[in-house]
A and B are shown apart, each in its own frame.
Chain A
Amino acid sequence: MLTCEHIVKRYGDHLALNGVSMEVPEGKVFGLLGPNGAGKTTLIRIITRITGPDEGRVLLNGRPMTADDVALLGYLPEERGLYKKMKVGEQALYLARLKGMGRKEAAQRLKEWFERWEITGWWNKKVEELSKGMAQKVQFITTVLHGPKLLILDEPFSGFDPINAELIRGEILRLRDEGTTVMLSTHNMGSVEELCDHIALIDKSKVMLHGSVREIRKRYSTDTYKVEYKGSRVAFADALGFHGELTAHREDADFSTALVKLKHGATLNTALRPLLSAVELHGVSEEVPRMHDIFIRVVSENEPASVKADMTE
């Protein structure tokens, strides 16, 4: 769907993006991650053609993006807002028409959205009369109203209470199922795990990590398994032997939970085989690393270089 090829962007002496390349697959939710100041917003602004790259290019469906393609995009910026003095309906119509929609079509679709979210009463209210969450809902509608092929959401959940965040989450998944490609930039790693199929992690103006979430989590897997069993701890440790290392253990009234890190060369099968006869197994599950941990690990491993970058800034 969207391909970024070796994008470089400088602001004076500051290198905001340093040869960033990534591939956003069609019909998936793509997470764009990175600490503050990593260059995410700059990259998004280049994709949305708000600003241009110094080097590199952006391809949409295999061909270089043109100015007309912005009609195919829907962009919810992190720094977002509406005209406070303007009426909700009028404003939504205005923003839709700026995206190139006809008046009738825009009014019709707005009506549908407002009815579906049961907010038709807001139509003639001024934005300043709405709460922050309400305004955010209107903002979300205006972003997706024109049926963009690529939806770019920068921190879409900020400003929402859990109920409305759930509503937005549902809408994102619904849009994805209808074929929209979604690019999601967020610091909320929980929602990344829930929503994203693919991610790219940018740090210090460079892509540090890129691929499918499942593949990345596997790559950062520590080969640690959680084993629940009934029986004696000594028997369990003996049976485990040289296959694995017992990194944590908890005993409850009638069963125990152990964290086992497999030793190099061992597989889950070889480790489990002696255990089967030694204790009564209740459950085995892999301790998959959380995106949160991967994020922190990647960014902190990248740290020494960052000191230099800060000084040139």
Chain B
Amino acid sequence: MGKIGLIVRREFWTRVRKPSFLIMTILGPLLLVGGITAVVFLGMQESGIQNVVIIDKAHLLTNKLKDTDDIKFFYQPEDMPDSVFKAGPYTAMIDVNEAVLENNTVQLFYKDLPSQTVQNYLSSEIEKVIEKEKLRVNNVDPETYQRIKTALKVQLFDIDKAGKRSYDQAKAGIGFAFGYLIFLFIFLYGVQVMRGVMEEKQNRVVEVLISSVKPFQLMMGKIVGIALVGLTQFLLWVALSAVLGTIGLGLAKDRISASALQQATPQMTTQLQAQLGGAELAQAQDDRAEDLQVLVDIWNDLPIALIIGLFIFYFLGGYLIYSSLFAAVGAAVDVETDTQQFMLPITIPMMLAIFIAQTAVYNPDGPAVFWCSIIPFTSPVVMMIRIAMGNAFEHPGELALSMALLVATFLFTTWLAGRIYRTGILMYGKKVTWKELGKWLFYRG
């Protein structure tokens, strides 16, 4: 094994064996999937048995609302004093005023705020009854109404992709997620490279090492070793997220279908209700099927393998550029507080990249997005969005240029960083300036 190999192995294993790596690896996807699942779950979580008293001053609702396992309706024609409500067994009170057909407003009083699901159920139940009443008052046949009622859907098609619906927004979102991941990894691991270099310098182990290996080997060994840590972490995250996601999705799915069914199957007391309810059930199922279809379409439409491949390419390219610069900074300074003046010019392009990436989600063809997807300091983040949206594949020349520039730039920055590094690591007790760094570039090796 070559000397770089030995260094890569040390850098890799000392980091992977740290407890913090294991914790991050497990916690990352747990937080991600757990967070999403928790939000979905909490939103659906019922707030216990709801006893809802309807103050039916309009005399429209009494005995027309459908109870569920968790929600029981009670009816009262007259106002209930607050004190009675507070002392009573009811968890919520809905005041339906006499003019509800005109103002379409009811007031819900609660002891503990009912969950969104409960609120949705209450409002949809009341809505249905009021709608029916309006149909009756206006003498409209419910069947006619059902035919007239329109929920317009706009489907998007890209004219260049014949016959395929496009989901640019969703894809841009996926691209942004990849871009953001690159941004995160470059920072997380770039800073680790800087810390590692500084540690070696502060420990004074560096001079021992470079009597055995060339400074450039030492620097590259560290950069590559930490890149492997990053990739390992990424792959572990993907694997763990997939496992956790499947479990989480399975649980969530059960809940969703159960509550969808609950909402969509009211007790069919009258023929009218039966017709309405049946139509809505069909509609709900349609929506769900369509949501699923969208996901399948996007999945089929995205060249996943190609995107993952390009993600790894742009991650490595961007990481090599930035981490070599971070390594140079680590070598140039003695203490962490001195890093600030050199860190700023490195972080600004990264921040710009994230900022532009956000605009790219809405406007992938804009000039700012175009330039930032070509310029190597921002392209790893911005180009990911154009790749996910398919835009990059329509302009293969631009993609090739961007990739070529990325490679050329990391060759240049590693060369540059190498020259600063080999002088910097042996320089102690000197406050380094930009001018000083410039001089180091031209020292003979």
Contacts and interface: CB of A to CB of B under 8 A. Distances in A.
Contacts of B205: 80-83
A183 B180 CA distance: 54
A52 B203 contact: no
A40 to B, nearest CB: 14
Interface in B190-226: 199-200, 203-205, 207-213
Interface residues of A, number: 31
Interface string A81-93: 1111110000000
A100 B213 CA distance: 10
Contacts of A49: 211
B204 A81 contact: yes
B14 interface: yes
B207 A70 contact: no
B393 interface: no
Given A83-B203, A86-B14, A95 B208 contact: yes
Interface string A131-148: 000000001001100000
B445 interface: yes
A80 to B, nearest CB: 5
Nearest to B203: A81
Contacts of B203: 81-84
Interface string A69-109: 01001011101111111100000001101111000000000
Say which size band chain B's interface belongs to: 20 to 34
A226 interface: no
Contacts of B208: 75-77, 80-82, 95, 139, 142-143
A75 B14 contact: no
A50 B208 CA distance: 10
B153 interface: no
Contact of A80 (B199, B204, B212, B444): B204
A265 interface: no
A134 to B, nearest CB: 16
A51 interface: yes
Nearest to A98: B212
Given A12-B439, A79-B428, A52 B444 contact: yes
Contacts of A50: 207, 210-211, 426
A186 B203 CA distance: 21
Contacts of B3: 98
A54 interface: yes
B207 A52 contact: no
- Chain A interface secondary structure, helix, strand, loop or mixed? loop
B6 interface: yes
Given A51-B445, A52-B444, A54-B444, A73 B204 contact: no
A306 to B, nearest CB: 21
A181 to B, nearest CB: 16
Interface in A115-144: 139, 142-143
B6 A77 contact: no
A83 to B, nearest CB: 6
A20 to B, nearest CB: 16
Contacts of A11: 443
B10 interface: yes
A48 interface: yes
A49 B7 CA distance: 19
A166 to B, nearest CB: 24
Contacts of B426: 45, 50-51
Residue in B205, B426, B428 with the greatest tally of chain A CB atoms within 10 Å: B205
Contact of B212 (A85, A99, A139): A99
A12 B426 CA distance: 16
Nearest to A154: B207
Contact of B445 (A52, A76, A95): A52
Contacts of A95: 208-209, 212
Contacts of A12: 439
Contacts of A54: 444
Contacts of B445: 51-52
Nearest to B221: A98
Interface in B391-442: 422, 426, 428, 439
A116 B204 CA distance: 27
A72 to B, nearest CB: 12
Nearest to A76: B208
B48 to A, nearest CB: 52
Contacts of B444: 52, 54
A98 B6 contact: yes
A12 B203 CA distance: 27
Contacts of B204: 77, 79-81
A139 to B, nearest CB: 7
Contact of A70 (B199, B200, B212, B428): B212
Contacts of B443: 11
Interface in A6-53: 11-12, 45, 48-52
Contacts of A98: 3, 6-7, 209, 212-213
Residue from A45, A51, A143 with most neighbouring chain B CB atoms (10 Å): A51
The winner among B14, B210, B439 for most chain A CB atoms within 10 A is: B210
A98 B8 CA distance: 12
Contacts of B212: 70, 95, 98-100
Nearest to A83: B205
7 contacts: A51-B422, A75-B208, A75-B211, A79-B204, A80-B205, A80-B207, A139-B208
Given A95-B208, A95-B209, 10 more contacts: A12-B439, A48-B211, A50-B207, A51-B422, A79-B428, A80-B208, A81-B205, A83-B14, A94-B6, A100-B212
Interface of A: 11-12, 45, 48-52, 54, 70, 73, 75-77, 79-86, 94-95, 97-100, 139, 142-143
